[in-house]
Structure 1
Amino acid sequence: MDKLYIFGVPIHRVTMIEAVEILKGYLKEDRIHIVATPNAEIIMMAQKDEEYKKILNETDLNVPDGSGVVFASRVFNKPLKERVAGFDLMMEFVKWASHKDVSIYLLGAKPEVVEKAQSNLKNLYPSLKIVGFHHGYFNEKEEENIIEDINKRAAQVLFVALGAPKQEKWIYKNKEKLKVKIAMGVGGSFDVIAGKAKRAPEIYRKLGLEWLYRLIQEPWRYKRMSALPKFAFKVLLARLKGDF
């Protein structure tokens, strides 16, 4: 699969349609496949966290989540096909899975959020096979019980909403124990599905300004958002130096 490296983090050149087809293919293989959704913030995290960067280099699929990643690919004259937002990929796959006998497990977020998320997904797709769910507030002892529950329920797909980099590190640490075919980090997706958080209107997403909408809605996130201008500066500096 063709990929582009942005500051040591691989990004696969896929469209949404191609990404969904890849996930379908993973279900036919007898091993776990780790899916990540790198955006500018995640790439900047990886610059300070070698363990995280290593994990992102060992995942099976890294979709270009975020306008910053697409921006960087164009600046480097290696344009990606399109942005593939992790939330959208999850929902497109869930829509397809609702017509198939695909078992799904939700892990992460607050107890009331993950419960509401699974309820809303079932209301949206009545035939969707959600075999279990668990919140993201657990200790190491409870972790073993959760993994046992995921395996006992024969989940094929595990969506993990613990936030980056925790979700990818958790999946990677437990990849030998998990018997799922797909494990994907989905960040705050459960909050959106549960109606606890609003996604940016389509016009913001089309203009690549989803980050601005989130900052307006959640101004306390400004420290995390500072990664975006730092990323843009790093991209432009690398272009000037020819170091990409």
Structure 2
Amino acid sequence: MNTINSEFLGYPIFKGQLVDVLQKGKTIINTLNQYSFCLAEEDKVFKNALMNSDILLPDGISIVLSAKFLSGNELKKIAGADLHEFVLKYLNSVYGTCFYLGSKQETLDAIKSKVEDVFPNITSEGFSPPFRDEFSQEENDMMIEKINEFSPDVLFVGMTAPKQEKWVYANRDKIQATYICSIGAVFDFYSGTVERPSNFWVSHGLEWFVRLVKEPKRLWRRYFFYGGIYLKHIVSSKINHSIRF
């Protein structure tokens, strides 16, 4: 196990700083929150993709608090948006390149415009794939071709979990990019399509609450239904650990 990883309910969760993310060689970076954890426990392919991440970030206050509760491990929440901002600053310093795969074309256009304005040393491109649960072989080949023609330093994938992580894991050997980051909702946050909660809410671990208030119909199941399932996992793990010792 990587020395900057910590075991969390069987997952190799990242416990380092963002500066430690930039490792040598092809690096697959995913995130874990209570929702993706619950989905992965029901989806073996998704779980395999997460377990085989080179870096699995603790993206959620529930993961941070649970790690402390279960084993005393001190984790720092690192959201996909934090990773994205850090990587862009790095790329700007080295005149790097990045490619955005996912979302609507209008969103990609807004991202490209913002990157050009804020990080003028970065060259970026993007591709909006068809919106469907599964891609045909032809569509899949086209996506990989678009990425590899550009051959970016960093590939950002925003197709929502678990679709994005499973796609990356299935195609990682075909993708010509040094860092591959599955960051989901960050595409909407960065483009301005969806406003991310302010730093006040983020720093107090209440980003999820603001998002729920703004989009209750879409997010209630994620936070309440799966929140209950997640809590059962945590309590069960704590009880089993206590029995063993």
TM over 0.5: yes
The percentage of aligned residue pairs carrying the same residue is: 26
Of 136, 160, 170, the residue aligned with 2:157 is: 160
1:169 equivalent to 2:140? Answer no
Q: Residues 51-70 of structure 1 correspond to what in structure 2 (within 5 A)?
A: 51-70=45-64
Map of 1:225 onto structure 2: 223
RMSD between aligned alpha carbons? 1.8
Aligned length: 235
Deviates more, 1:207-216 or 1:138-147: 138-147
Where in structure 1 are there 5+ consecutive unaligned residues?
A: none
Shift of the 203–232 alpha-carbon distance from structure 1 to 2, 3 Å rule, reads farther
Pairwise CA distance, 1:233: 3.8
State the alpha-carbon separation in 2 of the partners of residues 176 and 55 from structure 1: 13
State the alpha-carbon separation in 1 of the partners of residues 130 and 12 from structure 2: 30
SS of equivalent to 2:93 = coil
Map of 2:188 onto structure 1: 191
- For each residue in 1:63-94, what CA deviation from the matched residue of structure 2 results, as whole angstroms up to 9, or x when unmatched? 11110110111001332331111111111110
Of 166, 182, 205, the residue aligned with 2:202 is: 205
State the alpha-carbon separation in 2 of the partners of residues 210 and 136 from structure 1: 29
Pairwise CA distance, 1:164: 0.6
Map of 2:9 onto structure 1: 7
Pairwise CA distance, 1:97: 0.7
Q: Residues 75-86 of structure 1 correspond to what in structure 2 (within 5 A)?
A: 75-86=69-80
Deviates more, 1:210-219 or 1:74-83: 74-83
CA contact (8 A) 2:127 2:143 kept: yes
SS of equivalent to 1:242 = helix
CA contact (8 A) 1:7 1:43 kept: no
SS of equivalent to 1:107 = strand
State the alpha-carbon separation in 1 of the partners of residues 65 and 232 from structure 2: 12
Shift of the 201–232 alpha-carbon distance from structure 1 to 2, 3 Å rule, reads farther
State the alpha-carbon separation in 2 of the partners of residues 204 and 44 from structure 1: 24
State the alpha-carbon separation in 1 of the partners of residues 63 and 17 from structure 2: 14
Q: TM-score, normalised by structure 1?
A: 0.90
Amino acid in structure 2 at the alignment position of 1:194: S
Pairwise CA distance, 1:50: 1.1
- For each residue in 1:46-65, what CA deviation from the matched residue of structure 2 results, as whole angstroms up to 9, or x when unmatched? 11011111111111111111
Q: Residues 88-127 of structure 1 correspond to what in structure 2 (within 5 A)?
A: 88-127=82-121
State the alpha-carbon separation in 1 of the partners of residues 74 and 14 from structure 2: 8
Shift of the 224–216 alpha-carbon distance from structure 1 to 2, 3 Å rule, reads same
State the alpha-carbon separation in 1 of the partners of residues 42 and 9 from structure 2: 11
Deviates more, 1:160-169 or 1:200-209: 200-209
CA contact (8 A) 2:129 2:143 kept: no
Map of 2:238 onto structure 1: 239
Where in structure 2 are there 5+ consecutive unaligned residues?
A: none
State the alpha-carbon separation in 1 of the partners of residues 228 and 212 from structure 2: 13
Q: TM-score, normalised by structure 2?
A: 0.89
State the alpha-carbon separation in 1 of the partners of residues 39 and 12 from structure 2: 14
CA contact (8 A) 2:58 2:75 kept: no
Of 92, 102, 127, the residue aligned with 1:134 is: 127
State the alpha-carbon separation in 1 of the partners of residues 207 and 17 from structure 2: 19
Structure 1 moving runs of 4+ over 4 Å: none
SS of equivalent to 2:126 = strand
